[in-house]
């Protein structure tokens, strides 16, 4: 079901009480309507199954309903209440019913606060969430509200998607100040703003947990071949299941496509994305694992940080001990046993990693103290990194 939410502003009334200026809104080459209230033309264009009119206690409810042919006595009461900024749902009920009969769809009138401060802004989000239904498809008309309401409406659109379980089909704005020489007002579609926010959300998600797979559907929607975008998600899966070799191989194959992507939004965020997945450029496996350890430590994912730090050391130990197959479990176990005899820091790292992975008490009192405090754990992992990979050893400095 599609529902149209249209904001009603305060505006200024002329002597004839016409409200907003009448203009011809151009939706497409074959659809235009000359009206004062954009929301009604939009309703005719979209043919929604429900209309929600949103305004404050001082919005132009009187002028709006007067234009719809309502009774003079009702309009007079609305005029008086509007002047006092004291419109109530009871005053709007009868005009609302008559408009519903004219349009042939249910109409809801929602009175909201003025959004003057955070408390009122939050209240508006709650009010909107209360009148929508999970699974609805919403179109938002931002044309006639207060000048600051479109900003709030953008936040509301994202909030309703995430919390109320609705789908935002489109955001519309009748751009009266952009009239052309034929005195036609263009109709702007602003759904792209929400798509931009999806990219911003994806960057925040990646910075938090390192899962660059969240970019795959965004790149596919932005024009990248679906198979190519899916390989990015596959690389993220390999990385997050501690398989850096497969992750690096997959990233190597898809990175050029990410680099060359010229979609509208991909071009905007592409450089940032490339930097975030650039760890695979290291010369060899221990470089990749150490880079990942540093990245996960930065994100406070201490288990993955400790795991990749340990694996980086074991990869190098396999090479130093002449064990060609560093992927083999037996070789890695052998490398650990040999190295742990002479490297106490490795044993300390394993103690911390096992405690993080299994939720068990560390073997040493020092490790217990380390795990009791986040700053101490972070510092200790950095110290172990420097001890296990001192500058000038191997390919890692």
Domain ranges of the chain: 2-189, 198-281, 293-388
Look at residue 324 and tell me whether its pLDDT is greater than 80.
no
Confidence class for position 70, pLDDT limits 50, 70, 90: low
pLDDT category at 56 given cuts 50, 70, 90 is very high
pLDDT at position 314 is: 95
Antiparallel, parallel or unpaired: β 184-189 and 167-174:
antiparallel
For residue 141, the model assigns a pLDDT of 95
Q: Is the pLDDT of residue 395 over 50?
A: no
Mean pLDDT, range 300-309, rounded to an integer:
96
Dihedral (C-alpha) 87, 89, 92, 97: value to the nearest 10 degrees? Answer: 170
CATH code of 2-189, in short, is 3.40.50.10640
Residue 71: pLDDT band (50, 70, 90) is: low
Q: How far is CA 263 from the centre of its chain?
A: 18
Give pLDDT tens digits for 195-247.
999 999 998 888 888 888 999 999 999 999 989 999 999 999 999 999 999 99
What mean pLDDT is predicted for residues 377-385? 97
Query: Which of 63, 66, 58 shows the shortest CA–CA distance to 13?
Result: 63
Lowest-confidence range among 50-54, 100-104, 276-280, 382-386? 276-280
- Position 394 scores a pLDDT of 46
138, pLDDT greater than 70: yes
- How remote is the C-alpha of 80 from its chain's centroid? 43
Over residues 170-184, mean pLDDT: 91
What average pLDDT does range 154-161 have in this prediction? 93
Q: What is the Cα–Cα distance from 154 to 359, expressed in whole angstroms?
A: 43
Q: What percent of the chain has pLDDT over 90?
A: 67
pLDDT, average across residues 95-108: 94
The token pair that represents 84 in the structure block: 């006092």
pLDDT at 67: 74
**pLDDT average, residue stretch 121-148:** 92
């Amino acid at each position: 079901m599609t529902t149209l939410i249209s904001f009603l502003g305060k505006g200024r009334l002329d002597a004839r009480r016409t409200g907003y200026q009448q203009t011809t809104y151009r939706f497409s080459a074959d659809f235009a309507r000359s009206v004062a209230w954009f929301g009604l033309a939009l309703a005719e264009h979209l043919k929604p199954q429900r209309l929600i009119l949103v305004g404050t206690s001082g919005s132009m409810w009187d002028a709006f309903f007067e234009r719809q042919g309502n009774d003079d006595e009702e309009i007079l009461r609305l005029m008086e209440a509007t002047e006092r900024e004291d419109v109530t749902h009871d005053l709007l009920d009868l005009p609302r019913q008559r408009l519903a009969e004219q349009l042939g769809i249910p109409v809801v009138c929602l009175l909201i606060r003025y959004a003057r401060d955070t408390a009122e802004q939050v209240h508006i989000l709650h009010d909107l969430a209360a009148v929508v239904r999970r699974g609805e498809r919403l179109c938002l008309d931002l044309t006639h509200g207060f000048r600051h309401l479109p900003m709030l409406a953008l936040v509301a659109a994202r909030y309703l998607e995430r919390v109320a379980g609705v789908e935002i089909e489109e955001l519309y704005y009748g751009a009266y100040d952009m009239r052309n020489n034929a005195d036609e007002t263009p109709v702007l579609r602003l759904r792209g703003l929400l798509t931009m926010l999806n990219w911003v959300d994806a960057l925040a998600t990646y910075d938090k947990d390192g899962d660059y797979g969240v970019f795959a559907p965004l790149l596919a929607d932005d024009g990248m071949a679906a198979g190519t975008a899916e390989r990015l998600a596959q690389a993220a899966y390999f990385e997050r299941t501690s398989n850096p070799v497969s992750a690096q191989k997959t990233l190597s194959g898809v990175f050029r496509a990410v680099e060359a992507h010229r979609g509208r939004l991909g071009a905007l965020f592409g450089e940032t994305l490339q930097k975030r997945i650039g760890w695979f450029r290291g010369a060899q496996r221990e470089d990749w694992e150490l880079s990942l350890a540093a990245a996960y430590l930065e994100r406070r994912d201490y288990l993955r940080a400790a795991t990749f730090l340990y694996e980086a050391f074991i990869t190098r130990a396999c090479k130093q001990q002449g064990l060609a197959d560093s992927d083999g479990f037996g070789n890695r176990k052998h490398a650990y046993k040999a190295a742990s005899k002479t490297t106490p820091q490795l044993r300390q790292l394993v103690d911390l990693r096992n405690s993080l992975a299994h939720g068990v008490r560390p073997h040493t009192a020092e490790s217990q103290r380390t795990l009791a405090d986040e700053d101490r754990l972070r510092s200790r992992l950095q110290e172990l990194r420097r001890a296990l990979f001192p500058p000038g050893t191997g390919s890692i400095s």
